[in-house]
Amino acid sequence: MFGILLPDELCTPWTSFKPSEIRVCEEKVIGPPNHTPRKVLPKDDTIAFLKLMHHGDKQCLKTELDTYNKIDKARLDSTTRVSRLHGLVRDDSGAILGLLLTYIDCKNLTLSCAVKPEMSTALCQKWAAQLRDIITQLHNAGVV
């Protein structure tokens, strides 16, 4: 169900964690419970988002690792609001079970869910400017 084997050269740039080195953080959930862990605490005590990797996602995983590698090498400003790869969760065989990403506390809302008809134009313009800035930085760095 989970786990993708990749060549070591694609994995070595990232810190690897064993599943036993990851603790699941408790989250207050609105609505039905979700038993898939999302907010986790690796042994280095950096809160992270766990993105599980399914067997069939090998090409997607390669693309993601390449993109996160570009983001890492771009040395973007620390204030740039873009998720970064913190590490890999790997089993004893070396299979990647998941990615540990920057944890963003979005209160379970996507931007499309957060936008309501009563939102002020100023707030929508602020978000649009932030997105333009992020996209410009990613393009200038050659990430996208």
Per-residue CA distances from 128 to 76, 83, 97, 107, 118 (Å): 19, 18, 34, 20, 17
Mean pLDDT within 23-43: 78
CB atoms within 10 A of CB 53: 22
29 Cβ contact partners less than 8 Å away, ≥ 6 residues apart: 108
Position 75 scores a pLDDT of: 85
More confident residue, 35 or 90: 90
Position 65 scores a pLDDT of: 97
Position 30 scores a pLDDT of: 66
In residues, how long is the chain? 144
Position 37 scores a pLDDT of: 76
Quick check: helix, strand or coil at residue 58?
Answer: helix
Does 63 have pLDDT greater than 90?
A: yes
CATH homologous superfamily of 8-107 equals: Phosphorylase Kinase; domain 1 (3.30.200.20)
**pLDDT tens digits for range 21-31:** 999 988 766 66
Band of pLDDT at residue 34, cut at 50, 70 and 90? low
Does 64 have pLDDT greater than 80?
A: yes
Every domain of the chain and the residues it spans: 8-107
**pLDDT tens digits for range 91-113:** 999 999 999 999 987 766 667 77
Does 40 have pLDDT greater than 80?
A: yes
Q: pTM score, two decimals?
A: 0.84
